[in-house]
C-alpha cells in the first residue's frame, strides 16, 4: 500500500436515505481512490464524477465561466428583484445549509420547497394528519420477524437497506438473520426485490387503497364482506397475510412511491398507517416511508422547526403559509407564478413534469450543485459546490429521523452549500440596503 495512503473508517454515505455509516475509504494525495462496503451508487458518488468545474453565467444562450463573486452577485440580483422566487431542492445537502436557505427565502419572500413535493409529500401530509407509529432502523434490525415492502423496490433504490437494517441482517433477537424473517413484497410488478421475498403479492395498479382496506376488514372480523378478489389479489391471499401479520412478533411495513404517487396518494398512506395502528391490537407493528435523497428527511425537520411546516412553505406574506396543491413547487410553476428559481442539491430537470419545466425554462434559474445534471441545461447561473458529506461536514437525518453527522473527508476548491447560500444572502441584503 502507498505509504501516503490514509484509511478512513465509519464514513457515512451521502446518497440515499439509508445513510450507511460503515463505509471505508482510502485517500491518497487528497483524493479518494478506493471505497469499500458501499453499494455501486454510493461508491460512484464518493469517488466523484462529472463535476461542474467553474461558476458560469449564461450569455446569448451559452454558459460562460465567470468568477465566484460575479456568479454570487448575479444570483443575488435575480433573487432581490424577484416578486415570487422559488427556492427548491435541499435534499442532498446538510441541515446547516437548509437553515441558511430558509433565511434566504424569508429575506426574498420566496416559496421554499424540497424534493418531497414529487416523492413522499403525500406521506408527509398523511403523517401530519394521523401521526406515524414508527421506530428506528436499529429496532427493526434487532426485532423484526415480518417485513413488508409495499410499493418500494429496495434493492434498486436503497441497495444496502436489506443487508443493513431489514431482511438479511442478524439482530439481537434475530440471530439467524434472513432465516428468522418472513419477507413479503406487495407491488404492481415483479422487481429485483420480489426475487428475494418469501411471498410476492401482485396488486393491480391504483388498487392499493382497496387492498389496505380489505386487510383492515379482515382484522375487524369482517372478512365476509370481501369479494373473491380485491385489486387482483385473491381473498385467500389477503386472509393469509392478515393472519401472518397478526401472528408476527414484530412487523414492519416499508412503503415507497408505489403508494405515495399512485391513485389515492396520501389517503393510501393514511390507510396504511390505520392498518398498522390496528395491528397493534394484536402484536407490535410499525411503518416507515422509504425516503430517497439522503437528507430529504432533514429538510422536513429543519423547515418544521423554523416555520412550523415540513415542505412547500410560502414566505411571501411575511409569515409561513402552507397549502400543498397551492404552494407546492410544481403547482406554483404550472400556474406560471414564479419569476425566478434557485435550485440546490436536486435535479428538477430530470424529475418535474413537462409543464413545470416549461415555466422554469422561461425564468432566470440559479443552480447550486457539485454535478452537471439536466437542470444545468437551462440554468442561467451555475455555482459549483463542495460535496456535502465528502468535502463538507454537517448534519443529515436518516429515513427513520435519526440525525447523523456526515464528515468532511477531503479538501475542496469549492465552497460548501452553506457558505454559498450565506454569501448570496449577504449580497441580497447589501443590494436591498439591509432591509
Ligand atoms: S444503500 Fe444508500 S446510503 Fe447505503 S451505500 Fe448505497 S447509496 Fe449509500
Inside any domain, residue 1: no
Name residues whose C-beta falls within 8 Å of residue 59's C-beta, 6 or more positions apart in sequence.
Answer: none
Assess contact for 40 and 16: CB atoms under 8 A.
no
Indicate if 281 and 216 belong to the same structural domain.
Answer: yes
Inside any domain, residue 398: yes
Instruction: Give the helix/strand (H/E) hosting 233.
Output: strand 233-234
Task: Report pLDDT for 2.
Answer: 72
Nearest alpha-carbon partner for 157 in 84, 71, 257: 257
Indicate if 178 and 223 belong to the same structural domain.
Answer: yes
Specify the number of domains making up the chain: 3
C-alpha cell at 278: 390496528
Q: How confident is the model at residue 434 (pLDDT cuts 50, 70, 90)?
A: low
Inside any domain, residue 241: yes
Cα–Cα dist 250/257, whole Å: 24
Inside any domain, residue 40: yes
Domain residue limits at 392: 53-118+294-431
The DSSP symbol for 151 reads S
Exposure string of 273-294, with b = 16+ CB inside 10 Å and e = fewer, is bbbbbbbeeeebbbbbbbbbbb
**What's the whole-number mean pLDDT along residues 252-264?**
94
Indicate if 141 and 269 belong to the same structural domain.
Answer: yes
C-alpha cell at 78: 435575480
Going from the Cα of 24 to the center of ligand 1, the distance in angstroms, rounded, reads 13
Closest atom of ligand 1 relative to the 159 alpha carbon? 1
Question: What does the DSSP assignment read for 302-359?
Answer: HHHHHHS-SS-EE-TTSS-EE-TTTSSHHHHHHTT--SEEEEESS-HHHHS-HHHHHH
pLDDT at 413 > cutoff 90? yes
The DSSP symbol for 171 reads B
Indicate if 388 and 328 belong to the same structural domain.
Answer: yes
Indicate if 339 and 394 belong to the same structural domain.
Answer: yes
Domain edge (last residue) among 254, 289, 324: 289
Inside any domain, residue 309: yes
Task: Report pLDDT for 204.
Answer: 97
Q: How confident is the model at residue 433 (pLDDT cuts 50, 70, 90)?
A: confident
Closest atom of ligand 1 relative to the 23 alpha carbon? 5
Assess contact for 243 and 237: CB atoms under 8 A.
no
Q: CA dist 305 to 99, 122, 433, Å?
A: 10, 20, 28
pLDDT at 109 > cutoff 60? yes
- Residue with the nearest Cα to atom 1 of ligand 1? 160
Task: Report pLDDT for 12.
Answer: 98
Nearest alpha-carbon partner for 422 in 102, 184, 195, 116: 102
Assess contact for 286 and 252: CB atoms under 8 A.
yes
pTM across the whole model: 0.95
**Ligand 1 binding site (Cβ under 6 Å of any ligand atom):** 13, 15-16, 18-20, 38-39, 41-42, 158-161
Task: Report pLDDT for 38.
Answer: 97
Amino acid at each position: 500500500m502507498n505509504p501516503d495512503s490514509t484509511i478512513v473508517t465509519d464514513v457515512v454515505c451521502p446518497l440515499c436515505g439509508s445513510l450507511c455509516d460503515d463505509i471505508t475509504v482510502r485517500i491518497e494525495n487528497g483524493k479518494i481512490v478506493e471505497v469499500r462496503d458501499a453499494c455501486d451508487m454510493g461508491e460512484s458518488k464518493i469517488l466523484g464524477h462529472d463535476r461542474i468545474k467553474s461558476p458560469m453565467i449564461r450569455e446569448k444562450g451559452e454558459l460562460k465561466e465567470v468568477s465566484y463573486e460575479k456568479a454570487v452577485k448575479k444570483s443575488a440580483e435575480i433573487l432581490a428583484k424577484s416578486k415570487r422566487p422559488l427556492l427548491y431542492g435541499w435534499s442532498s445537502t446538510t441541515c446547516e445549509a437548509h437553515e441558511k436557505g430558509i433565511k434566504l427565502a424569508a429575506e426574498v419572500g420566496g416559496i421554499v420547497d424540497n424534493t418531497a413535493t414529487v416523492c413522499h409529500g403525500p406521506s408527509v401530509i398523511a403523517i401530519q394528519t394521523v401521526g406515524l407509529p414508527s421506530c428506528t432502523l436499529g429496532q427493526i434490525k434487532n426485532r423484526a420477524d415480518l417485513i413488508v415492502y409495499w410499493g418500494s423496490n429496495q434493492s434498486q433504490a436503497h441497495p444496502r437497506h436489506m443487508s443493513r437494517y431489514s431482511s438479511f441482517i442478524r439482530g439481537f433477537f434475530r440471530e439467524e438473520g434472513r432465516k428468522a424473517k418472513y419477507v413479503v413484497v406487495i407491488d404492481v410488478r415483479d422487481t429485483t426485490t420480489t426475487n428475494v421475498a418469501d411471498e410476492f403479492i401482485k396488486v393491480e395498479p391504483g388498487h392499493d387503497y382497496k387492498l389496505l382496506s380489505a386487510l383492515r376488514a379482515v382484522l375487524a372480523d369482517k372478512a365476509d364482506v370481501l369479494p373473491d378478489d380485491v385489486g387482483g389479489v385473491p381473498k385467500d391471499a389477503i386472509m393469509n397475510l392478515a393472519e401472518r401479520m397478526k401472528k408476527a412478533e414484530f412487523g414492519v411495513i416499508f412503503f415507497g412511491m408505489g403508494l405515495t404517487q399512485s391513485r389515492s396518494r396520501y389517503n393510501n398512506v393514511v390507510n396504511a398507517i390505520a392498518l398498522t395502528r390496528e395491528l397493534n391490537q394484536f402484536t407490535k407493528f410499525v411503518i416507515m416511508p422509504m425516503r430517497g435523497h439522503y437528507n430529504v428527511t432533514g429538510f422536513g425537520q429543519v423547515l418544521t422547526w423554523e416555520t412550523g411546516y415540513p415542505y412547500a412553505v410560502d414566505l411571501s406574506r411575511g409569515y409561513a403559509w402552507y397549502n400543498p396543491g397551492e404552494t407546492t413547487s410544481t403547482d406554483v410553476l404550472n400556474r406560471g407564478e414564479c419569476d425566478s428559481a434557485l435550485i440546490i442539491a436536486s435535479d428538477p430537470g430530470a424529475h418535474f413534469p413537462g409543464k413545470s419545466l416549461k415555466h422554469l425554462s422561461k425564468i432566470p434559474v440559479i443552480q447550486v450543485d457539485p454535478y452537471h445534471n439536466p437542470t444545468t441545461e437551462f440554468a442561467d447561473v451555475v455555482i459549483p459546490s463542495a460535496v456535502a458529506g465528502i468535502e463538507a461536514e454537517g448534519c443529515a437525518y436518516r429515513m427513520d429521523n435519526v440525525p447523523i453527522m456526515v464528515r468532511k473527508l477531503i479538501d475542496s476548491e469549492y465552497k460548501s452549500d452553506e457558505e454559498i447560500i450565506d454569501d448570496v444572502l449577504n449580497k441580497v441584503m447589501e443590494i436591498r440596503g439591509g432591509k
